Amino acid sequence: MVERASWSLGSALRNVFGARTIDEDTWDDLESALIRADFGPAVTEEIVESIKAQVERYKTTDPRDVQRMLRELVEERLAKYDPTLKLTERPAVVLVVGVNGVGKTTTIGKFAKFLGNYGRSVVVGAADTFRAAAVDQLATWAERAGAQVVRPEREGQDPASVAFQTVDYAKRTGTEMVIIDTAGRLHTKGGLMDELGKIRRVVEKQAPISEVLLVLDATTGQNGLAQAEAFIQHGGVTGLVLTKLDGSAKGGFVIAVQEKTGLPIKLIGQGEGIGDLTGFTPHVFAQQLVG
C-alpha cells in the first residue's frame, strides 16, 4: 500500500465519505476538515456551497459523490494556473528567492539534481554572500547534484557581481542552466528588494531571466505568506516552490497559496533527500489530497 501523505484529507474525511448518507453532519465535517487543512475560510465556503448545490441538483445521497465532487473542484481550481517551468533560453537563468529557513538551499540542490536528471548542465551561483557557512552549504548541495558552483571571492562581495560571474561562466562554457541563490534576510529594511533589483538588472544585461522562483515553507501555511509579501509584491516572481510538504498537514495551502498570490506552483519538495523534488501536477495532487 502506498503511504498516505501527511497532507492528505483522507483520514480527516473518512467519516464523511464513509457515512451511509449525506446529512447536516456531512457539511459540518467537510467544512471543519477543510479549515483545519488550511484551505482558508473563503475557499472553504466556496467549495462547500458548490458541492451542496451539486448534491441538490443531482439529488444524490451518496457520500462518495461528495468525494468525487471535491476531487474535481480541487483539481479544477489547481489547474487554473500553469505549473510548467519555462526554461527554453540558453542559458536559462533562474533566480531563487525567499526568506531564510524555508528550505532555499536544499531546494537549489534538489533542483540542480532534477535538471541534471533531464541531462541538463547546471551552474549554481552563491549570491547570498553574507554568510560563508551558507555558501559552503550551497556548494556541498551543488556538488552532490553534479553541478558547478560560482562562489563569492570574499565574504560580503556584492551579490550582483556573483550573479554576473555565474551567468558569464555559463555563457563561456555553454552551461545550459543557471540557478542563482539570493539572500533571504534584510540587512537594512528595503535593502533586500534593492539588492534583488540590482541582481536582476545585472543579469538581464547578459541574458533574459527565465524564472524567479519563490520558496515557501508549507508547514507554516498561510501564516508564512506574510513574510514573503515583499517578494510577491516586488520580486518579479514567476512561480512558487512549496517545501516541507511531507511534514505538513496543510494540504489546502496548496490551493489557497495560488489563489492568494495569483502565482503558479511549479515545484514541490517532500523530503530532505536530493531526489525529493517534483514538478506539480494538479490531477495527481487532487487525487492524493482527496483520495
Q: Under the rule (CB under 6 A), what is the footprint of ligand GTP?
A: 100-106, 134, 184, 243-244, 246-247, 269-272, 276
Q: Tell the smallest beta-carbon distance from residue 222 to ligand GTP (Å).
A: 18
Backbone phi, then psi, for 69, in 5-degree steps?
-65, -40
The answer to whether 77 is a known ligand-binding residue is no
d(CA 129, CA 132): 7
Nearest residue (CB) to ligand GTP, 69 versus 134: 134
The answer to whether 100 is a known ligand-binding residue is yes
Q: Is the peptide bond before 208 cis (omega within 30 degrees of 0)?
A: no
The answer to whether 103 is a known ligand-binding residue is yes
Nearest residue (CB) to ligand GTP, 12 versus 274: 274
Q: Tell the smallest beta-carbon distance from residue 133 to ligand GTP (Å).
A: 8
- Give the 3-state secondary structure of residue 14: helix
Nearest residue (CB) to ligand GTP, 224 versus 269: 269
d(CA 269, CA 275): 9
> Which amino acid type is present at position 52?
K
Q: Tell the smallest beta-carbon distance from residue 112 to ligand GTP (Å).
A: 13
The answer to whether 185 is a known ligand-binding residue is yes
Per the DSSP assignment, residues forming a β-bridge with 96 are: 181, 213
d(CA 26, CA 16): 6
Handedness of CA 125, 133, 186, 218 (dihedral sign): positive
Q: Tell the smallest beta-carbon distance from residue 219 to ligand GTP (Å).
A: 8
The answer to whether 171 is a known ligand-binding residue is no
Q: Tell the smallest beta-carbon distance from residue 231 to ligand GTP (Å).
A: 13
- Give the 3-state secondary structure of residue 203: helix
Q: What's the angle, vertex CA 105, arms to CA 249 and CA 157, rounded to 5?
A: 145
The answer to whether 82 is a known ligand-binding residue is no
Nearest residue (CB) to ligand GTP, 134 versus 167: 134
| Binding-site residue positions for GTP | 98-105, 181-185, 243-246
| Binding-site residue positions | 98-105, 181-185, 243-246
